Amino acid sequence: MMSSNRRGRQSPGSSPAELPATPACPTPTVVATLPTLTVSRRADGLVALSFLVPDHRQNVITPQVLIDLASALDLVEKGPEPTGIVVVSNRPGSFFAGADISRLELLTQGTAASIEAVCAVGRTLLGRLSAQPWPSVALIDGICLGGGLELALACDLRVSTTNSATLLGFPEVKLGLLPGWGGTVRLPRLIGPGPAVELAASGEQVDGLAAARVGLVDACVPPEQAFAAAQILIERNTASGAYLQRRKKLAAPLPLDPLEREFLESTATAVILGRTGSHYPAPLAILRTILDGLDLDAVAAGTAEGAAFAALASGPVAAQLVRVFRLGERNRQDSGVAHASSAAQASTTTREIHRPAVVGAGIMGSGIAASHLRAGFAVALCDVQALALCGSVAGILDEAAWDRATKRSDPARSLALAGRLQTSTQLAAIADADLVIESVLERTDLKRQVLAEIERLVGPTTVIATNTSTNPIAKLAGVLADPSRFCGLHFFNPVRRMTLVEVVRGPATSDDTIATAVAHAKRLGKCPIVVRDSPGFLVNRLLMPYLHEAVEMLREGLEARRIDRLARSFGMPMGPLELYDMIGLDTAFYAGMVLNDAYGDRIDPSPVIPALVRSGRLGRKTGAGFYHYARPEGPGGSQRARIERPDAGVAAVLEPYALPPRASDDATIRDRLFVPIVLEAVRVLEEGIVRDGRDVDLAVIHALGFPAFRGGVLAWADTLGAAEILRRLKPLADLGVRMHPTASLVEMARTGSQFTACHHPE
């Protein structure tokens, strides 16, 4: 997507090596103190606009910020005339993290005209900053995203720091939006159309050095040199007038050669559709807005940008993605414990974990250990099998040192992390741990034996957790003298990529244990959701009817590729039969036994999965399951296996278990896959498996890949309505109890209640 690399020329003297230190300057004089910023003037005439937005963890652009920026410009314009303006943050680690999300949520509820008017107000204000007769510099130390980057782009020059917290980008696309205050206008004129499309349409962030390489900033220096660098850039640009020349260039059209434009448009479109499957309109809108804006002057391009932003913001996808973002924000602030009173909240103790340990060096245990190393912990890993333990180390270090930017493991980082991984075949090595995560085989008897031994070895305050997808916490806790410090920590495979962690509360689990486990999962960069102990917990219980129905349709003679294709067209990352193969049919069989025992009244055990297991078809790991796979050589080859074709031998396995064919169009197949998930979610809410219904939507998005543009399973159900769900279930009633509505669903249809309203007030 970077096929066109033309960009605006950087101003003279922009190389960090050419920015010498400046003499010390007397303490600046405060000109005005406004609610979100301070205006100060130095003796040399340099004016600083220093932002600190109260009542937020990071600086965000609120209506008050815009009011204060306008007032500050009024003050500066009244004189005396400054030598230049430096826009800076007084909040460590945060220049501006973008717009206030609550304000953005309200914005998406407005009309296209009202949204477009808001865009015009912001563009006009930033245009006023960029039109001042003196040069301006944005000093970026910390997060600089969205509207914050648009503010920085409205300045003539930008200085970023080498601080690891300094990240620049346009994440609007992840909310179904595009930059609306001139970002699509200024960015391509500054760094070139190709890089601009890639940055804005991907939503990725770049650090200060990378920003300097592409010309997004004019200098990248250590934080302590940043203000001096800004001063030098102002002095040099004032003397040369280079900033005025750049302004003219950025304001003028920048038409592409027709062949260059056609190539950029076609290649970028292909990449975008490959990433989004055409479900997300924002990336293509960004591409079109940038390309069309190049043929216009900056003012006209800004007006077109505002119209494009309004069209997206008033649409359903943006509304759902903003809601999902809000669910994530709520989760990040949630302690995992609901308190009836402030006194109860005060009595809960959340301990910070310093010495984690993992027992079991299989796929999941290794992934959990790598996740701890990646998060900066030293971790002890125990396994009685010496060969398994030794064989896991290289993979753990590679996983922990994975570099998202290069999409490969960093050997130097892997070597550096090696000293933080302690391995032992003796369980006594975990004696001083303050958290132990058991991750041995999914055999109840083995887990109970290991957990009892862990409790005997560790201190009385150590939190003990089990990584299990099926074993009831209450049953495992039965061997412990103090079950109050025991909970489930269910990670999903592959651990590095899957962000959800189910924190499972057993009957005796204390609030302190839950709060500590939730806080620790967040330190690992995970999204923890607290669930009540029950077979399948939350995610596997919702997954069960989806997988089961796919196999039933296969037994009726439908093609595997068709079933999976329709699931992907709905927005799922892979179809249910592909997912079966990835999980492993043997793993699915054992998990299914637990779920069938619990919910067999509505889900009859399928004979197909055990028959496939008996035939040796276990999925990707054996190269054959529902599909036949071409498996690359080397470590992790099974996870990278590529589907070649449906496995020809599956038909013979299915034949004894064939069901009468049913007439099924595409819409019916989709309903059979996804409406049962809604039914199971309703039962989950009825039984109080989650503390809040919004956790259901967050869980299916993070763990099952349920399409975020649909907002989660409950949000999707709301787009249909309970009455429509009943209508779609009616022709499927002969399939059995699994397609029969619950009493509460019938009541919701009668009253017109919403699925997403099933949560506790906050």
Q: How many residues does the chain have?
A: 762
Burial class (CB in 10 A: 0-12, 13-18, 19+), 350: middle
Residues 409 and 402 sit within 8 Å (Cβ to Cβ): yes
**Which one is catalytic: 372, 490, 520, 702?**
490
CA–CA dist 494, 513 (Å, integer): 25
Tokens of 635: 């470590």
CA–CA dist 713, 716 (Å, integer): 5
Tokens of 112: 């296209």
Phi, psi of 255 (to 5 degrees): -65, 140
E strand or H helix at 207, and its extent? strand 205-207
Tell me the CA distances in angstroms from 57 to 92, 94, 144, 204, 557, one per residue in order: 10, 9, 14, 22, 56
- Cis check for the bond before 632: say yes or no (omega within 30 of 0): no
Residues 660 and 556 sit within 8 Å (Cβ to Cβ): yes
Among 587, 565, 583, CA closest to 575: 565
Total Cβ atoms within 10 A of residue 265? 18
In the residue annotation, 339 being an active-site residue is answered as no
Give the residues across from 619 on adjacent strands: 624
CA–CA dist 592, 585 (Å, integer): 10
Among 500, 539, 572, CA closest to 331: 500
306 HSE (CA, 13 A, CB side): 20
Residues 721 and 747 sit within 8 Å (Cβ to Cβ): no
Residues with catalytic function = 490
